[in-house]
Amino acid sequence: MPSWLASIVIHYRGGDPITFQLTKLLSLLLYPLNQAILLALLALLALLLHRSRTAVCSLAVAIAWLYLCSTAVFADFLMGTLEDPYPPRALSVTARADAIVLLGGAIRGDVHMGSLGDLNQQADRLVHAVALYKAGKAPRLLVTGGGAPGERSEAEIMRDLLQVMGVPERAILMEDQSRDTYRNAIYTAAKLEQLGLHKILLVTSAFHMRRSEALFAARGLEVIPAPTDYQRLIGPAVVPRWLPGVSDLWRTTHALHEILGYRVYRYRGWI
């Protein structure tokens, strides 16, 4: 990450809606597709300025970087660096805890033609949390995640989905103020402290677990990682792994977001 961009992202890690939106917009500059577009625009500008060598180099880097990030080979490599420290564990050997904490990120939001919120590619988080609850691993299930002004919070949407999946309302706790993982940990720890709950099963995507575990442990909680949503498939690929694909670009983007996010959080002293 360029030092100037890191400093801006770090500076604007605020809690109010304006700084939150600004942070999200700045974060877009870190994504491979947007970086490739910016390099292509730079190539066009260089061409208009009759700097043909700069234009060719910028366009070549844009195409090469976008191609690399869109391959399963690169996506699997990056995801492997994040997922390998957190192998899955069978429910039978998973320790019991005071509460299951389900992090947000699995919800797109409310939709026009439906009564329940729409799930995204990380919906495994909800399934795994419900499986842990039904296996008797904890008596409480806390959902986290705020929402934009005037919209239902992510926690509310997940609460409704969990009830449809068989979790009773009395067992569900909500933290509906946070908009990022850092404040997930702060607000969740405060709520659990009030209830005298200290040992948690932390449910999130395996590639998101390193940053999440560190944040919640830093808040004084005893954290048992309960990773899910693994991104590398076992079976043979339908197409060669060196061919570009949209899903592989998505996986690379999320992996880079986590790798850079972890470094930013360490720089701030949050973990």
How far is C-alpha 126 from the geometric centre of its chain's CA atoms?
A: 14
Q: What does the pLDDT read at residue 21?
A: 58
Average pLDDT of span 59-84: 97
Per DSSP, the three-state class of 126 is helix
pLDDT digits (tens, 9 = 90+) for 209-229: 999 999 999 999 999 999 999
Computed over every residue of the chain, the mean pLDDT equals 89
pLDDT of 44 > 60? The answer is yes
pLDDT of 232 > 80? The answer is yes
pLDDT digits (tens, 9 = 90+) for 86-103: 999 999 999 999 999 999
Q: How is residue 80 written in tokens? A: 């492997």
Q: What CA–CA distances, in Å, run from 86 to 58, 94, 160, 241? A: 38, 13, 29, 24
Higher pLDDT, 157 or 23: 157
Could you give the CA distance from residue 102 to residue 226 in angstroms, rounded to a whole number?
A: 10
Higher pLDDT, 201 or 117: 201
pLDDT band with cut points at 50, 70 and 90 for residue 5:
very low
Instruction: Tell me which residue of 56, 65, 133, 126 sits closest to 94, measured CA to CA.
Output: 133
Q: What does the pLDDT read at residue 113?
A: 74
Determine what percent of the chain is predicted with pLDDT higher than 90. 73
Q: At a CB cut-off of 8 Å and minimum separation 6, what does 45 contact?
A: none
Could you give the CA distance from residue 8 to residue 31 in angstroms, rounded to a whole number?
A: 16
Half-sphere exposure of 21 (CA within 13 A, CB side): 5
Q: Where are the domains of the chain?
A: 3-84+244-268, 91-228
Neighbours of 92 (CB within 10 A): 6
Residue 223, beta-bridge partner list: 200
Q: Which fold has domain 91-228?
A: Rossmann fold (3.40.50)
Half-sphere exposure of 20 (CA within 13 A, CB side): 14
Could you give the CA distance from residue 229 to residue 203 in angstroms, rounded to a whole number?
A: 10
Q: What does the pLDDT read at residue 6?
A: 45
Instruction: Tell me which residue of 144, 143, 159, 139 sits closest to 97, measured CA to CA.
Output: 139
Q: Which range is most confident: 6-20, 44-58, 232-246?
A: 44-58
Q: How is residue 264 written in tokens? A: 């930013």
Q: What does the pLDDT read at residue 49?
A: 93
Are the C-beta atoms of residues 215 and 270 closer than 8 Å to each other? Answer: yes
